[in-house]
Amino acid sequence: MASPEEKIERDPFDILHHDDDDHTPFASSTSATKVRPFNFETTVVDLRTSSAFNIRRISRSIYFVLIKAKINILLPFGPFAILLHYLTGHHGWVFFFTLLGITPLAERLGYATEQLAFYTGPTVGGLLNATFGNATEMIISIYALKSNMIRVVQQSLLGSILSNMLLVLGCAFFTGGIVHYKKVQVFDKAAAVVNSGLLLMAVMGILFPAVLYFTHTEVHEGKSVLSLSRFSSCIMLVAYASYLFFQLRSQQNVYTPVNEEGDNGENSDEEEELELTQWEAITWLAILTAWVSILSGYLVDAIQGASESLNMSVAFISVILLPIVGNAAEHASAIMFAVKDKLDITIGVAIGSSTQISMFVIPFCVVVGWCMGKEMDLNFQLFETATLFITVLVVAFMMQEGTSNYFKGLMLVLCYLIVAASFFVHVDNNKSGD
């Protein structure tokens, strides 16, 4: 079986690397044992050939990462937003163009992670997806934590969960149901049930600190909620690590849909193509992460000014607008797989991403804030916690039958519109009042 490196198409320049003696018809059998004298002209040609090969490889890598995908047309908006920041200082426009500039970077981060997963295997690949799959949200959250904007961190991560579960999954169900209106689309209930259980566990971890705070039943007032949040975050991280081990090692066959086993060989080339080498994927991950970090700093700095200039609350921007950036890749891929009648992958993209954020990213931010000396906790306030709880229940009921149709998708999208309207008229008390 060919290795991942052998799967990458052979470069036409490779033929120039063969020794001339191998193609010489008059070469004697003893010529291989003789030491060839140093030939300056041949060495120069080899160096030039090697340089041409490297240039071709770099150009090919740049094409796959920065040019091939249509969403890359938004990449220039990132530098443009930085220019606007220093030339005009208009926070509304800086915020808008930074959002546009980060959107393709989030999608390309997912692409580079998938390419690297070819070389690492399923176990390490799952860890990479858990880390870089929501790298945009994590980077924005860390920058907001540095600026002590804890409510922005909480609301943006909550918005990512709501967007994935209602908008992304709803659009996928609706589109797949319209395309395949003559049949009922089915998906594996086992993975959906496990993900629903993890989401309910996340709701439990977020609900208890809020109830403890608003019922004034803390043992140590002002400290018990923070201590409970940090303890619960560590438990949630352990639970998510156990889930990864369970999914990738102990119960692999449970998450392999029966109806996709026969199609795997036919469609693998269409869906997943190896286009980057291992070190190219690692290099692009580093470059894209650094660029997202730079733009995230300008995005966080412009949130407050954008709220005033656009006449929108910070809560609406954090819960509704910011998640659009991080979920752009999930939205496109979930719809694509639903159209191809591969709902198991759609569920993995939409619900799996929500599980990652609720059980990994949110507790991770609490631990990072702990290390930074920031009082980041799991008290998301009653309004946000109630919204998350009802959303998880609605989606769990929608998936309990293991079937999908366009009407279920329409209901999920309409539910998201209700949530968006609610946050548009919601005023955040910022924990100042009870």
Condensed to tens digits (0 to 9), the pLDDT of residues 132-156 reads 767 778 888 888 898 888 998 999 9
- Measured between alpha carbons, how far is 61 from 43 in angstroms, rounded to an integer? 27
- Measured between alpha carbons, how far is 100 from 72 in angstroms, rounded to an integer? 10
- 356 has pLDDT over 80: yes
Q: For the CA atoms of the chain, what is the radius of gyration?
A: 25
Q: Across residues 50-69, what is the average pLDDT? A: 81
Predicted confidence (pLDDT) per residue in 155-201, tens digit: 999 999 999 999 999 999 999 999 988 888 888 888 888 888 999 99
Q: If pLDDT is split at 50, 70 and 90, which confidence band does 99 have?
A: confident
pLDDT at 43: 52
- Measured between alpha carbons, how far is 64 from 331 in angstroms, rounded to an integer? 21
Name, in order, each residue with C-beta under 8 angstroms of 349's C-beta and a sequence gap of 6 or more: 168, 330, 333, 334, 337
Q: Across residues 59-88, what is the average pLDDT? A: 89
- 116 has pLDDT over 50: yes
pLDDT at 388: 94
- Please give the distance of CA 247 from its chain centroid, rounded to a whole number: 19
- Measured between alpha carbons, how far is 345 from 257 in angstroms, rounded to an integer? 9
More confident residue, 117 or 7: 117
Predicted confidence (pLDDT) per residue in 328-341, tens digit: 767 777 888 888 88
> Percent of the chain having pLDDT more than 90?
29
Name, in order, each residue with C-beta under 8 angstroms of 371's C-beta and a sequence gap of 6 or more: none
- 72 has pLDDT over 90: no
- Measured between alpha carbons, how far is 203 from 396 in angstroms, rounded to an integer? 13
Residue 185's H or E segment, with its range, is: strand 185-186
- Residue 89's alpha-carbon distances to 94, 194, 283, 301, 347, in angstroms, are 8, 47, 33, 11, 42
Q: Considering the chain, what is the average pLDDT of its residues?
A: 80
Q: Across residues 210-221, what is the average pLDDT? A: 87
Q: Are 309 and 225 in contact (CB under 8 A)?
A: no
pLDDT at 131: 66
Q: Across residues 351-355, what is the average pLDDT? A: 87
pLDDT at 23: 45
Predicted confidence (pLDDT) per residue in 361-398, tens digit: 999 999 999 999 998 999 999 999 999 999 999 999 98
pLDDT at 30: 43
pLDDT at 31: 43
Q: Across residues 403-416, what is the average pLDDT? A: 93
pLDDT at 133: 67
Q: If pLDDT is split at 50, 70 and 90, which confidence band does 427 have?
A: confident
pLDDT at 174: 93
SS3 letters across 20-32 = HHHHCCCCCCCHH
Predicted confidence (pLDDT) per residue in 252-311, tens digit: 444 444 444 444 444 443 445 788 888 888 899 889 888 988 888 888 888 888 888 888
Considering 27-31, 50-54, 268-272, 393-397, the range whose residues carry the highest mean pLDDT is 393-397
- Measured between alpha carbons, how far is 356 from 336 in angstroms, rounded to an integer? 21
Which tokens hold the place of 95?
Answer: 């915020």
Q: What is the pTM of this model?
A: 0.76
